[in-house]
Each structure stands twice: as structure tokens, then as C-alpha cells.
Amino acid sequence: MPIRWSALRVSQAMDEIERQVDAAQPFFDAAKEKAREAKTISSLPGYMDDRLNRLIWDIDRIEAVRAAIASVRRDIPQDALKAERNMPGQPALI
């Protein structure tokens, strides 16, 4: 049974989202480094160290976003995607 939604448009959306995440990665890396630097501040109380560890952990969760993108891609019916890509008049992929 054919799907009623555009596998191609979903695939293209994932491409765009992945480009945005890739573009943001240097900012996440810099933020994580700043948090690590903050952990070295002299006489930092334990509760602040805990908060900074949590911040670093949260920044690392960008990998969960990448995993979610991969999950969407895995669930796109490849035969429908291929058929849409081969349809005349389809715009070129960005």
C-alpha cells in the first residue's frame, strides 16, 4: 500500500535538520569547554560542580538529537523515497 505522505520531503527535512545540528556543533563544543573551565575555579563548592557536570551532560545530549534523526531516516520507506526521487518534475535535492 502506497504511503500518503512524502518520503522525499521527510528525508529532505532530516538533511536540513542535520545541517543545522552540524552547524551548531562548534558552539556546543565551546560551551562544554567553558563549563569544564568553570569547574576548575578555585574553591568551587560541590553543588556548583554538580550543576556544571549536569550542564556538560546536557550539552552532550546533542547525540540524542543525531540518534533521533537517524531513527526517522530508518523509518522512511526506502522504496517510496526512491520512487519519489525518480518522479519527473521533482526538484533537485539541496
Q: Please, what are the averages of pLDDT over each run of 10 residues along the chain (94 residues)?
A: 89 98 96 98 97 97 95 96 84 52
pLDDT given at position 1: 67
pTM, entire model? 0.78
Taking a C-beta distance cutoff of 8 angstroms, is the pair 85, 7 a contact?
no
Query: 8: closest CA among 66, 87, 71?
Result: 87
Q: Collapse the DSSP code of 64 into the 3-class scheme (helix H, G, I; strand E, B; otherwise coil) and give the result.
A: helix
CB 51: neighbour CB atoms within 10 A?
A: 15
